[in-house]
């Protein structure tokens, strides 16, 4: 667990962007890393199709960045800033800077953070802040529609772990800074690509040879090219089994837009974990707050109808049970083993 926590902390990224929440010499606990106005509005009083009136065909899902500031001291040429999620700083990550501030991005959601600044062997300040308990949208330069699949509360009161599964659009336009974010800060170990061979042209991951590259032509929604179609059965099994291998984590799963094929597998995994119906739909609709998720000018009501049909069809596998039980039964029927299902839950639930 300690190793995993430290890895997730490396998801903190030092950046210089707009929309920054500044923490100075404060007392008490500040709540920071708040969602964008559009994500907040979509989430606050969510109803199906609410994203249609908010979408702009741009990436409008980014959370606030956080800026830590402190007073300079004479003769100090360098400051060390320790960031931790434990008040004893046992899981700290240390940054070095010549400035009297540090800007952070991609912090865990709903998490207490502690920070301390030292210079010339003296501790200048020790402070505490809390990140908003909201969707953990992620900033990766050159990639759209990016967010953590974790952080959701299940109907059994558990929490889907953050820092394990990230979802988004294709990676072909990622910058070197974006690669650094994914490899060094988010610690991505597997690129799960759900596009067809025609789309990938046989290429391996743009993230390089250090990641595991898995490519399945993924199904989307229920009928036609969906999860009920026998032609997609082996691909779907491959996708699901990728989440049953602990060596694959953290995983970045994507298709082209990060909405349909990606939305389908993320639906199945989070439904299996016990995420509520409302949150399953909310996670799906967040794609309409991105440039990639709106690239094909989607009609939101039609897309929601497809998603709703998939939900309803899977629910039929346990009409008197929970959605988690129905999803488990669906997976068993297509060939996923009980051991694989149990492993997915063990790996992803807190």
CATH number of 125's domain:
2.60.40.10
Residue 42 lies in a domain: no
Does residue 111 form part of some domain? yes
Out of 131, 158, 176, a domain closes at: 131
Strands (E), 51-140: 65-69, 79-84, 93-97, 101-105, 112-119, 122-131
Between CA 38 and CA 255 the distance in angstroms is 24
More confident residue, 26 or 222: 222
CB 225 within 8 A of CB 232: yes
Asked whether residue 52 is assigned to any structural domain, the reply reads no
Q: Where a domain ends, among 131, 157, 178? A: 131
* Same domain assignment for residues 95 and 153: no
Instruction: For residue 48, give the 3-state DSSP assignment.
Output: coil
Q: Within 10 Å of residue 110's Cβ, how many Cβ atoms?
A: 16
**Strand-by-strand arrangement of the 30-32 sheet:** 30-32, 122-131, 112-119, 79-84, 93-97
Q: Please give the C-alpha separations between residue 110 and each of 123, 135, 161, in angstroms, as whole numbers.
A: 27, 9, 12
The proportion of the chain whose per-residue pLDDT surpasses 90, expressed as a percent, equals 87
Q: What is the CA radius of gyration of the chain?
A: 21
Query: Residue 90 domain-assigned?
Result: yes
Contacts of 225 (CB under 8 A, 6+ apart): 219, 232
pLDDT digits (tens, 9 = 90+) for 61-93: 999 999 999 999 888 999 999 999 999 999 999
Chain mean position to CA 219: 21
Same structural domain for residues 157 and 293? Answer: yes
Query: Are residue 216 and residue 168 in the same domain, yes or no?
Result: yes
Spatial separation of the C-alpha atoms in residues 317 and 36, rounded to whole Å: 37
Pairwise CA distance, residues 335 & 102, whole Å: 49
Residues 183 and 319 in one domain: yes
Residue 75: exposure state from Cβ atoms within 10 A (0-12, 13-18, ≥19): exposed
Band (pLDDT 50/70/90 cuts) for residue 146 is very high
Residue 145 has pLDDT above 80, yes or no: yes
Interior/surface letters 4-13, b for 16+ CB within 10 angstroms, e for the rest: eebbbbebbb
What tokens does 252 get?
């970045």
Same domain, 146 and 121: no
In a domain, 176, yes or no: yes
Has residue 6 got a pLDDT over 80? no
Render pLDDT for 87-121 as a digit per residue (tens, 0 to 9).
Answer: 999 999 999 999 999 999 999 999 999 999 999 98
Say if residue 172 is in the same domain as residue 120: no
> Residue 344 belongs to a domain with what CATH number?
3.90.190.10
Whether the Cβ atoms of residue 134 and residue 128 lie closer than 8 Å to each other: no
Quick: pLDDT tens for 244-267: 999 999 999 999 999 999 999 999
Q: Is 40 a member of any domain?
A: no
Instruction: Please give the C-alpha separations between residue 29 and each of 62, 113, 272, in angstroms, as whole numbers.
Output: 22, 10, 35
Instruction: Give the CA angle between residues 155, 135, 6 to the nearest 5°.
Output: 95
Query: Do 152 and 301 share a domain, yes or no?
Result: yes
Domain boundary among 83, 104, 131: 131
Q: Quick one: 111 and 224 in the same domain?
A: no
Residues 195 and 122 in one domain: no
Q: What is the pLDDT of residue 299?
A: 97
244 or 124, higher pLDDT: 244
227 and 264 inside one domain: yes
Same domain membership, residue 144 and residue 125: no
SS (H, E, C) 143-192: ECCCEECCCCEECCCCEECCCCEEEECCCCCCCHHHHHHHHHHCCCCEEE
Question: Where does the pLDDT of residue 13 fall: very low under 50, low under 70, confident under 90, or very high at 90 and above?
Answer: very low
Domain annotation covers residue 209: yes
Do 96 and 197 fall into the same domain? no
Write the pLDDT tens digit of every residue in 184-222: 999 999 999 999 999 998 889 999 999 999 999 999 999
* Residue 342: predicted pLDDT: 98
Q: Which domain holds residue 310?
A: 138-348
321-341 burial, b at 16+ Cβ within 10 Å, e below that, comes to eebbebbbebbeeeebeeebb
Q: What pLDDT is attached to residue 29?
A: 63
Domain count, the chain: 2
pLDDT at 74: 87
Q: Quick check: is 203 in a domain?
A: yes
Closest CA to 135 of 41, 71, 9, 271: 41
- Average pLDDT of the residues of the chain: 91
């Amino acid at each position: 667990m300690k190793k995993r926590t430290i890895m997730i902390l490396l998801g903190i990224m030092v950046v210089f962007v707009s929309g920054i929440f500044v923490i100075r010499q404060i007392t008490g606990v500040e709540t920071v890393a708040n969602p964008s106005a559009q994500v907040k509005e979509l989430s606050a009083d969510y109803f199906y199709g609410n994203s249609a009136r908010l979408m702009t065909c741009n990436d409008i899902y980014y959370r606030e960045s956080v800026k830590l500031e402190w007073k300079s001291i004479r003769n100090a040429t360098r400051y060390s800033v320790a960031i931790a999620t434990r008040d004893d700083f046992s899981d700290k990550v240390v940054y070095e800077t010549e400035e009297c501030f540090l800007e952070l991005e991609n912090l865990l959601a709903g998490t207490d953070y502690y920070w301390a600044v030292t210079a010339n062997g003296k501790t200048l300040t020790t402070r505490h802040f809390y990140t908003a308990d909201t969707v953990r949208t992620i900033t990766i330069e050159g990639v759209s529609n990016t967010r953590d699949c974790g952080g959701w509360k299940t109907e059994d009161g558990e929490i889907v772990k953050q820092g394990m599964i990230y979802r988004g659009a294709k990676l072909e336009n990622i910058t070197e800074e974006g690669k650094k974010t994914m490899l060094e800060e988010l610690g991505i170990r597997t690129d799960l690509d759900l596009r067809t061979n025609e789309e990938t042209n046989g290429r391996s991951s743009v993230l390089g040879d250090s990641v595991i590259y898995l490519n399945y032509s993924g199904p989307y929604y229920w009928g036609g090219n969906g999860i009920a179609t026998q032609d997609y059965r082996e691909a779907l099994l491959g996708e699901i089994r990728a989440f049953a291998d602990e060596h694959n984590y953290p995983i970045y799963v994507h298709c082209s837009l990060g909405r349909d094929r990606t939305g389908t597998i993320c639906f199945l995994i989070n439904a299996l974990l016990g995420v509520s119906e409302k949150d399953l739909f909310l996670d799906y609709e967040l794609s309409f707050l991105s440039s990639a998720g709106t690239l094909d000018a989607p009609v939101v009501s039609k897309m929601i109808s497809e998603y709703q049909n998939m939900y309803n069809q899977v629910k039929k596998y346990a009409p008197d049970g929970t959605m988690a039980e129905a999803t488990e039964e669906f997976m068993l029927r297509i060939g996923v083993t009980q051991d694989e299902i149990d492993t997915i839950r063990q790996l992803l639930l807190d």
